[in-house]
Structure 1
């Protein structure tokens, strides 16, 4: 399979006529939707998964490829720990090399303040028996060697992993199909069919599917579909730019990050690079609608996000994107099959500068390819995983806030049991939809 990016020009891999009915319909073919389908199929639940474009063509293949427990929100961490076990299980089941390797994750500290933040996480790590440890400045080279800069210290978790997103999620989709999941690409869901306050079906561009259960796992597009049915979530989409180098001499086997640069070894011998913490928000109607919800994050990290006054046409929160439409006519989801933002020029400059500064011995870095993706962000940087109280049979798993790839198998297992009414095994209170309307204060996750 060629390396990313996927586009709507790529051949359809999963195609079949839509069924008249399905026990469960999943909307969105990213890692959360695909993994939920797998775990439902394991329980002999009839599942149809609908993807408006291509499986994993958006953020599920555009992320950094990190599978980390390190630095996670305390409420996310139990699910991530489960996800790490499930990553190994699914990699064995799919019988494909998805680049899954246990090579660790390291955060580099420039200042004593950075180390203090790491020490805060160490309390969470200890409560969950993680192998996370702190490294002082003199020993940083033992976890990330050859760097030109001296650091105050580092935090590292050797058991953390990495995988290739553009290999892993399509491989999992093929596994789901072998388990009996009906996957249909190029099939946008235009609307839900709601009757008597409950889900009665989904209306697609190719016709209606009768169902009593629908899961919205549409990433950056989830808010747009939900809002059409009176369900508001304060979800915004931020652009993250990524680059891949040509093969380089091995200097670090895993993933690492400091303020300026993040890097991760790839299976082809190159490294995936990204700016340390810079994202771009296209300011659209939802940015104003949900502005107060994002104030705590803005005040905590005022320089972490840059802004442009309007999103390109067709993006989920573009000013020109319709907020309502007739289910019998083409929807915004068909107008943009694959959300494929252009990588930011300033971000690419930052990537080159950050890497060349940290590893000048390699000379000017040679980039093999570059891309960008839209992260589905939430104000508190944790997802929504819940049933919609006002619409019986409607479930939501979205707003992964840039953490979805690593936690995806865990969220998929949780969502599958939530749908079936089984015991979850985790406390989902933090991820409830009502937290944004019940007067709860916005509680931010770790700032690392």
Structure 2
């Protein structure tokens, strides 16, 4: 498992009533609960396991606007503003710092692709710019690999996943939110067609709004409500090192790996072209939905038929609200990392940066990334269930964009003016003929 996540003890009492229930206490769920609590809205945050125990503590910790899908840029700009002021806002440290992110390019085609992305960024007046090989050199101390150029955004940053979401959850509680861990939500009740309550394993909570921020579990939960959410999972493998002096201060993302310095002086690293896509029953159900995304990203994905196919084949897709659910049977999804991929990662990073040749690995872990067919999240109301909002499918982009995504979900469930135009994130884009496809 990843590094130890800051513990957030559960409140003991299950409220009989609230205004909004948020399902899932990852970065999106806690950001939503925090935004609602700041609005003065009574909110209960329910988590089947522990706060941020799954992908929200297992990601790279990048907080970026650069290289975003054009549809995400406006939301990522808002998120960067929020990260900048987050520590003061919540009265705790998230580890956020504006350390910069650099995407080096090896080929002319990569340079051209980065320059095309800059055209999308220009309306937002970002500080992203192309650097020559000579200009990149100070950012890549000791680097021995020849890069042609690179896309650099000095205002991009990093935060610490193991402490950020727990700190935000505690802040939400101080503002009046109830935080319940080891408390799976089994389903949603409706009255007159609208949300009226959730049923948890510990009892019923009456409410008028629900935000589903269940990450990799969101499709399964939605399916029990008769909502077909197109979502598959990708397994990423990550390692962190003991402190190393002399490495890059900025985060670095090449076609082969991503690395970023941590607050403890070590580095978080991942190999980019070894993410595992397990073949599951949903792979066949959603084959044509995901085919364009797979074609575009196939060099970064490895197909695998293994135990997960049979685990999900046996897993119930429908259940009654008075029975034990899959969410209670698996409190924390803890996939094994690919050790061959991490061995290759170490060799490649050491090739490019000799300072890493003697790296000591402190921990390795796997994490399940929830992905949509167009690799853009769903942050949306659901027309057929008024009062129900989905915030999921962040496709590996969720941590950095989390504070603003949570605020948008809070705006949608309360009917307030949204922080950004939510049209690009609407759930109905999969059924209204829009035929959404990956862009970035």
TM-score grouping bracket, smaller chain normalisation: over 0.9
Report the equivalent of 1:351. Answer: 345
RMSD: 1.7
Structure 1 position 314, deviation (Å) = 9.3
Report the equivalent of 1:4. Answer: 3
Structure 1 position 425, deviation (Å) = 3.7
Mapped to 2, the partners of 1:132 and 1:191 lie a distance apart of: 44
Contact 1:314–1:335 (CA under 8 A) maintained in structure 2: no
Decide which of 223, 235, 249 is 2:231's aligned counterpart: 235
Report the equivalent of 1:167. Answer: 163
- 2:139 is the alignment partner of 1:140: no
Decide which of 279, 300, 303 is 1:307's aligned counterpart: 303
Equivalent residues in 2 for 1:246-395 (5 A)? 246-312=242-308, 318-395=312-389
Structure 2 length-normalised TM: 0.96
Structure 1 position 361, deviation (Å) = 4.1
Report the equivalent of 1:106. Answer: 102
**Structure 2 residue ranges without an equivalent (≥5):** none
Mapped to 1, the partners of 2:2 and 2:372 lie a distance apart of: 29
Structure 1 position 11, deviation (Å) = 6.3
Equivalent residues in 2 for 1:140-219 (5 A)? 140-219=136-215
My pick for the range that moved more, 365-374 or 12-21, is 12-21
Contact 1:293–1:442 (CA under 8 A) maintained in structure 2: no
Mapped to 2, the partners of 1:162 and 1:189 lie a distance apart of: 32
Report the equivalent of 1:47. Answer: 43
Secondary structure, aligned partner of 2:40: coil
Mapped to 2, the partners of 1:25 and 1:138 lie a distance apart of: 52
Secondary structure, aligned partner of 1:121: helix
1:339-358 C-alpha deviation (Å, 9 max, x unpaired): 11111122212211221111
Report the equivalent of 1:441. Answer: 435
Contact 2:349–2:356 (CA under 8 A) maintained in structure 1: no
Structure 1 position 23, deviation (Å) = 0.5
1:255-279 C-alpha deviation (Å, 9 max, x unpaired): 1111222100001111000002431
Runs of 4+ that moved beyond 3 A: 310-315
Contact 1:238–1:282 (CA under 8 A) maintained in structure 2: yes
Mapped to 2, the partners of 1:311 and 1:68 lie a distance apart of: 35
Decide which of 22, 26, 41 is 2:22's aligned counterpart: 26
Contact 2:246–2:355 (CA under 8 A) maintained in structure 1: no
Structure 1 length-normalised TM: 0.95
Mapped to 2, the partners of 1:65 and 1:209 lie a distance apart of: 34
Secondary structure, aligned partner of 2:299: coil
Report the equivalent of 2:403. Answer: 409
Structure 1 position 160, deviation (Å) = 0.4
Residues 361, 212 of structure 1: alpha-carbon distance in 2 compared, 3 angstrom cutoff: closer
Mapped to 1, the partners of 2:213 and 2:419 lie a distance apart of: 21
1:158-208 C-alpha deviation (Å, 9 max, x unpaired): 000101010111011110110000000000011111233221211110111
Contact 2:244–2:359 (CA under 8 A) maintained in structure 1: no
Structure 1 position 291, deviation (Å) = 1.1
Contact 1:137–1:154 (CA under 8 A) maintained in structure 2: yes
Structure 1 position 104, deviation (Å) = 0.3
Mapped to 2, the partners of 1:45 and 1:283 lie a distance apart of: 41
- 2:11 is the alignment partner of 1:15: yes
Contact 1:310–1:319 (CA under 8 A) maintained in structure 2: no
Secondary structure, aligned partner of 1:301: helix
Contact 2:293–2:437 (CA under 8 A) maintained in structure 1: no
**Structure 1 residue ranges without an equivalent (≥5):** none
Residues 69, 314 of structure 1: alpha-carbon distance in 2 compared, 3 angstrom cutoff: farther
Mapped to 2, the partners of 1:269 and 1:322 lie a distance apart of: 44
- 2:79 is the alignment partner of 1:83: yes
Residues 305, 338 of structure 1: alpha-carbon distance in 2 compared, 3 angstrom cutoff: same
1:15-51 C-alpha deviation (Å, 9 max, x unpaired): 3221111110000001111111111111111000100
Mapped to 1, the partners of 2:211 and 2:341 lie a distance apart of: 34
Structure 1 position 142, deviation (Å) = 3.0
My pick for the range that moved more, 232-241 or 290-299, is 290-299
Aligned length: 440
Structure 1 position 435, deviation (Å) = 1.0
Structure 1 position 311, deviation (Å) = 4.6
1:68-104 C-alpha deviation (Å, 9 max, x unpaired): 0000112211111111111122211222232111110
My pick for the range that moved more, 12-21 or 407-416, is 12-21
Residues 81, 241 of structure 1: alpha-carbon distance in 2 compared, 3 angstrom cutoff: same
